[in-house]
Structure 1
Amino acid sequence: MTDADNGMRLAKRLAAQLPCSRAMAEQYIEGGWVSVDGQCVELPGARVAAHQRVELAADASLLAQPPITLLLHKPPGYEAGLGAGSGEPQGSRSQGAPQALALLQPARHQAGDAPGMRVLLRHFRALECFTPLPTPASGLVVYTQDRRIARKLQEDIETLEQECIVEVSGQIAEGGLARLCHGLSFNGRPLPPIKVSWQSENRLRFALKGIRPGQIPAMCQEVGLTVLALRRIRLGRIPLARLPEGQWRYLQGWERF
Structure 2
Amino acid sequence: MSELGLCSRREADEWIAKGWVRVDGKVVSELGTKVHPSQRVTVERQAAAEQSKRVTILINKPVGFVSGQAEDGYKPAVALIKPENRWEEDRSTERFHPTQLRSLVPAGRLDIDSVGLLVLTQDGRVAKKLIGENTDVDKEYLVRVQYLKGGKLPEADLRKLNHGLWMDGKPLLPAKVVWQNDDQLSFTLREGKKRQIRRMCEMVGLKVIGLKRVRIGKVRLGNLPEGKWRYLLPDEHF
Corresponding residue number in structure 2 for 1:147: 124
Corresponding residue number in structure 2 for 1:113: 90
> Taking structure 1 as the reference length, what is the TM-score of the superposition?
0.65
Q: How many Å separate the matches in 1 of 2:174 and 2:127? A: 28
Contact 1:81 1:130 in 2 (8 A): no
Does residue 154 of structure 2 align to residue 174 of structure 1?
yes
Q: How many Å separate the matches in 2 of 1:157 and 1:105? A: 33
Corresponding residue number in structure 1 for 2:192: 211
Contact 1:75 1:138 in 2 (8 A): yes
Corresponding residue number in structure 1 for 2:113: 136
Does residue 174 of structure 2 align to residue 193 of structure 1?
yes
**1:71 counterpart (58, 82, 106):** 58
State the structure with more CA Rg.
1
Contact 1:75 1:137 in 2 (8 A): yes
SS class of match (1:234) = strand
Equivalent pairs counted in the alignment come to 185
Contact 2:92 2:232 in 1 (8 A): no
Does residue 112 of structure 2 align to residue 125 of structure 1?
no
SS class of match (2:233) = coil
SS class of match (2:60) = strand
Consecutive unaligned residues in structure 2, runs of 5 or more: 1-48
Q: How many Å separate the matches in 2 of 1:231 and 1:157? A: 24
Q: How big is each residue's C-alpha offset from its partner over 1:49-95, in whole Å with a ceiling of 9 and x where there is no partner?
A: xxxxxxxxxxxxxx977221110100011000379xxxxxxxxxx72
- Which letter does structure 2 place at the counterpart of 1:228? I
Corresponding residue number in structure 2 for 1:37: none
Consecutive unaligned residues in structure 1, runs of 5 or more: 1-62, 84-93
Corresponding residue number in structure 2 for 1:161: 138
Corresponding residue number in structure 2 for 1:183: 164
Q: How many Å separate the matches in 2 of 1:99 and 1:118? A: 22
- Which letter does structure 2 place at the counterpart of 1:243? L
Deviation at 1:220, TM superposition (A): 1.2
Q: How many Å separate the matches in 2 of 1:138 and 1:109? A: 17
SS class of match (2:105) = coil
SS class of match (1:149) = helix
Does residue 215 of structure 2 align to residue 238 of structure 1?
no
Contact 1:127 1:143 in 2 (8 A): yes
Q: How many Å separate the matches in 2 of 1:158 and 1:230? A: 23
Deviation at 1:164, TM superposition (A): 0.6
Contact 2:60 2:227 in 1 (8 A): yes
Deviation at 1:159, TM superposition (A): 3.1
Corresponding residue number in structure 2 for 1:52: none
